Amino acid sequence: MSDESEVVRFALLNKSCFATKRQPDRVKKAVFFSLLFLFFLWSLWPGEYRITGSLSNQDREEIENILDHAEESFLPLFKLDNNFQLHIHVCKDLQEFLKLTGASWWNGGHFQNQIIFIQRPEALREREILEQTLDHEFLHYCISRVGGNSVPTWLNEGIVLNLNNEMPGLDCDTKATGIPLGKLDEALHGKDAEAARAAYCEAGRRVRRMIMENGFESILHSLDPRKSFCLVINY
Ligand SMILES: [Zn+2]
Series of mean pLDDT values for 10-residue runs along the chain (235 residues): 48 42 74 77 66 94 96 95 93 96 93 96 96 98 92 94 92 78 89 89 93 90 70 51
Nearest to 144 by CA among 113, 104, 118, 167: 113
Tell me how far the alpha carbon of residue 33 lies from the centroid of ligand 1, in angstroms.
38
Tell me how far the alpha carbon of residue 110 lies from the centroid of ligand 1, in angstroms.
7
Nearest to 82 by CA among 52, 106, 55, 47: 47
Tell me how far the alpha carbon of residue 161 lies from the centroid of ligand 1, in angstroms.
8
Tell me how far the alpha carbon of residue 139 lies from the centroid of ligand 1, in angstroms.
8
Tell me how far the alpha carbon of residue 188 lies from the centroid of ligand 1, in angstroms.
9
Tell me how far the alpha carbon of residue 232 lies from the centroid of ligand 1, in angstroms.
18
Instruction: Report pTM.
Output: 0.77
Q: Where are the beta strands (DSSP E) in 20-144?
A: 48-53, 85-90, 109-112, 115-118
Do residues 113 and 143 make contact, with C-beta atoms less than 8 angstroms apart?
no
Tell me how far the alpha carbon of residue 183 lies from the centroid of ligand 1, in angstroms.
17
Q: Give the CA count within 13 Å in the CB-facing half-sphere of 39.
A: 6
Q: What is the pLDDT of residue 7?
A: 47
Cα–Cα distance for residue pair 184/186, rounded to 1 Å: 5
Tell me how far the alpha carbon of residue 157 lies from the centroid of ligand 1, in angstroms.
5
